[in-house]
Structure 1
Amino acid sequence: MQLPPEQGPTLLDGPPADVSDAHELLLGYLEWYREALMRKLDGLSDDQLRTPVAPLGWSPLGLVQHLGWVERRWVRWGFGAQDVVAYPPGGDAEEWVVAASASTAQLIAGYQAEVAVANSLTVRALLTEKARLGGRFKTPDQAPSLGRILFHLLQEYARHVGHLDVARELIDGQTGE
């Protein structure tokens, strides 16, 4: 007897069920969360994207901007040791502040550009490969492996996409994936 789809086994989020390679799983789940971030923004007006949500104190677009900085810090500056600005002027708190002069399209494009660079640095690297020295990490004992960095990014996204669930429910009552 076959069950109707709504009563059948729950499908997995993220990469296909037959993926078992750790590198592919980490990158696949990270991509799933990046896409979930964008899905959760869908349908919000520009004003809703920019207005800080009470009592959280940050806007959905501020969260996107923060995650762009997180990508930059951990992958470009951290893993790749690229010579980039790792924090906005004013520090951590400024990552969440959306400048009135920046368009939503510009902010989303900036985030997507950071993701593209991160993908280019991580797709062919081994999970055991250590971060290069000179950027975020100055000595070999400080430098984590790519696997550790990807796990960190994955938990950061999981946490913040969950936060965005709460924000979205407060904004317009929408819930779900």
Structure 2
Amino acid sequence: MRSSSEEFPASLEGPALGVTDSHELLLGYLDWYREALLRKIDGLPDERLRTPVEPLGWSPLALVKHLGWVERRWLRWGFLAEDVEPRPPGGLDGEWRIGAAETTAGVLADYRAEVDRARTIAAGADLAERARLGGRFTSPEQAPSLGRILFHLLQEYARHLGHLDIARELVDGTTGE
């Protein structure tokens, strides 16, 4: 008979098992999801990246674009109260569409730039630190802690990566991990 440790290996995705610091765990898992997003679109030809998947109505590249804007909204406009646009031209619809003038390389570069900026913001703040007022949040009662924002980002990525698994399976039959 096999022991339970043989049936269920101790390896987990994300940060190393020895990481116990909450800040490091949150950032590590968030990075794991960011990397998983890019792994899940890897190998798709440009046309498939850009073409909306039916019946979903959005393309895999549009999901990447959306998550870049999510990072921007929550960490730059939200947590730091930077004076930045929270949505692209065209609002929510523009966030979920890839325009003819937008290149795949450009969308990916914009996403990576937002992720890099978000990493810098999150690494330099304490989880208990509250969002500044003036951007997304206008009163102290509305302003969440960085920890709450990072948890929200984790759930956003987890949900959307599940959506991307479905889209990828519809596009070419590839299934996620």
TM-score tier, shorter chain, comes to: over 0.9
Which stretch shows the higher mean deviation, 67-76 or 85-94? 85-94
Partner of 2:26: 26
Deviations 1:36-72 (A, max 9, x none): 0000011000000000000100000000000011000
Runs of 4+ in 1 over 3 A off after TM superposition: none
CA–CA distance in structure 1, aligned partners of residues 100 and 45 of structure 2: 15
Partner of 2:108: 108
Measured after TM superposition, the shift of residue 167 of structure 1 is: 0.4
CA–CA distance in structure 1, aligned partners of residues 58 and 115 of structure 2: 21
Give 1:36-55 correspondences, 5 Å limit.
36-55=36-55
Q: Which amino acid aligns with 1:16?
A: A
Partner of 1:60: 60
* TM-score normalized with structure 1 length: 0.94
Measured after TM superposition, the shift of residue 89 of structure 1 is: 2.2
Consecutive unaligned residues of structure 2, counting only runs of 5 or more, are none
Give 1:62-81 correspondences, 5 Å limit.
62-81=62-81
Consecutive unaligned residues of structure 1, counting only runs of 5 or more, are none
**2:124 aligned with 1:124:** yes
CA–CA distance in structure 2, aligned partners of residues 72 and 8 of structure 1: 38
Partner of 1:97: 97
Deviations 1:126-146 (A, max 9, x none): 000000111111111111000
Partner of 1:88: 88
CA–CA distance in structure 2, aligned partners of residues 94 and 103 of structure 1: 14
